[in-house]
Amino acid sequence: MGEESLRKRKGEHSGKEDGQSVQSHEPQTMNLQKQVGLISGICMIVGTIIGSGIFVSPKSVLANVGAVGPCLTIWAACGILATLGALCYAELGTMITKSGGEYPYLMEAFGPIPAFLFSWTSLLVTKPSSFAIICLSFAEYASTPFYPGCDPPQVVIKCLAAAAIVIITIVNSLSVKLGSYLQNFLTAAKMIIVTIIIVSGIVLLAQGKTENFEDSFKDSKISVSSIGLAFYNGLWAYDGWNQLNYITEELKNPYRNLPLSIIIGIPLVTVCYVLINISYFTVMTSTELLQSQAVAVTFGDRVLYPASWIVPLFVAFSTIGSANGTCFTAGRLVYVAGREGHMLKVLSYISVKRLTPAPAIIFYGAIAIIYIIPGDIDTLINYFSFAVWIFYGLTTVGLIVMRFTRKELRRPIRIPIIIPVIVTLVSILLVLAPIISAPELAYLYCVLFILSGLIVYVLFVHFKFNWPQKISKPITMHLQMLLEVVPAEEVTE
């Protein structure tokens, strides 16, 4: 009946009785196209994960464990954990085929409150802080060549990071096409620099530069907290392992290609990361690596001289690529939350001329700039990882719970239950270890912030208080005129 009335309405608009013209266009307008194959899926995983992390985290991972051996072990272990986590998400993604990452899984497993807290935390903590970290990494690499022999001033780094956020926000607000073209170019640049570093490292190893690997576990300082913090920094470099779940509906043959993309893609990234770290250690001792302001730049100076300028340039491209990708997807998240009534309505509006969710992207850029002002990279990474692993853990618990509470759901991919159990235990360890051994105020703020979402939920979602909408009506009206935005049209299903 719904289909008939839809056809009638569309027929009236086009002045045709016959529904054929509607049918011929229906797949293009009504559904997401299944255009992503196995190779594209693998490229998406590799392209999303390899970003600023591998150029920033080696120093922090090494600082926490103190020696080459444990450092390489942590990088490999992070890859294994990311693969196991992604396999859990593969079962969830083919069982609940809604897009939107963790939100629909938490909604199905535990109901609206954890799902709301996830979207609240994503919008105001994890997504903007990850954008801020990436732009700070870009700023460090872009400014290092101008300050040979010393660290760039913090003011310069923060101003440059803020400028990067503003430019990326403007590009993504102006045009979807411009944003995606920029992404394709920057992904190619990222793969070039990764290849250069790995090939240089293999050549140096073949020449016998192995002295830094002798006695590689000597002087290691291993405790529960140091391993937890080393994992935070390592896993930051792997963040993006769950990206394929955001586009499950667009995968060709998802039941085959989703698990295959994960099983090929993430181990491929793990091998790249371990080889990049080995390359760093062929030319730097542990102490030199820790003293380096930008690890890849030091590597370039020692190996590629006189063409060492290539490294900071391409690393800057790589980090800007990650930031652009993050802004591209997270802008959509703010837009969906606004549409669901979980954020101010104006955030779900769309630009009339450019058809981009401009208010959402601008809001997101503004919050990221706020994070840049007080934060340095390491603190922000710990803050981000702490928040994000609470929800990764909760999602895998949801998978275990649904094995018993939602037996009727079809599971095209069914992983052994030991995998979500391992991921849940590791996430509990990752969340608790740093709090117990090295408590910091950042973690407390993070927990309080997540819990403050409960107050917002009770007042505005449960009791539906509408006075904020009344107060924001004149603001919304002025913003609509200023940004030339309107509410999105409802898609009739």
Q: Give the CATH number for residue 463.
A: 1.20.1740.10
Residue 362 belongs to a domain: yes
Nearest residue to 328 (alpha-carbon basis) of 365, 292, 294, 303: 365
pLDDT digits (tens, 9 = 90+) for 400-429: 999 999 999 999 889 999 999 999 999 999
Supply the angle between the helices 176-206 and 254-283 in degrees, to the nearest 10.
Answer: 50
Residue 9 belongs to a domain: no
Q: How many other β-carbons are positioned within 10 Å of the β-carbon of residue 471?
A: 10
365-388: average pLDDT: 89
Q: How confident is residue 490, by pLDDT bands cut at 50, 70 and 90?
A: low
pLDDT digits (tens, 9 = 90+) for 154-187: 999 999 999 999 999 998 888 877 877 787 888 8
State residue 99's pLDDT score: 65
Residue 22 belongs to a domain: no
State residue 439's pLDDT score: 83
Residue 10 has pLDDT above 60, yes or no: no
Residue 6 belongs to a domain: no
State residue 22's pLDDT score: 37
Dist CA 213 CA 462 (whole Å): 58
State residue 452's pLDDT score: 92
Residue 227 lies in domain: 38-487
Dist CA 373 CA 125 (whole Å): 15
State residue 332's pLDDT score: 66
391-396: average pLDDT: 96
Enumerate the β-bridge partners of residue 486.
350
pLDDT digits (tens, 9 = 90+) for 248-275: 767 788 888 888 989 999 999 999 999 9
Residue 30 belongs to a domain: no
Residue 320 belongs to a domain: yes
State residue 63's pLDDT score: 93
Residue 27 belongs to a domain: no
Structural domain total, the chain: 1
pLDDT digits (tens, 9 = 90+) for 304-331: 888 888 888 898 888 888 888 778 777 6
State residue 486's pLDDT score: 85
pLDDT digits (tens, 9 = 90+) for 15-60: 433 333 333 343 444 445 677 788 888 887 887 788 888 888 899 9
Model confidence, pTM: 0.83
DSSP for 242-293, written as a single string: TGGGGGGGGBSSHHHHHHHHHHHHHHHHHHHHHHHHHHHHHH--HHHHHH-S
Residue 391 has pLDDT above 90, yes or no: yes
Residue 16 belongs to a domain: no
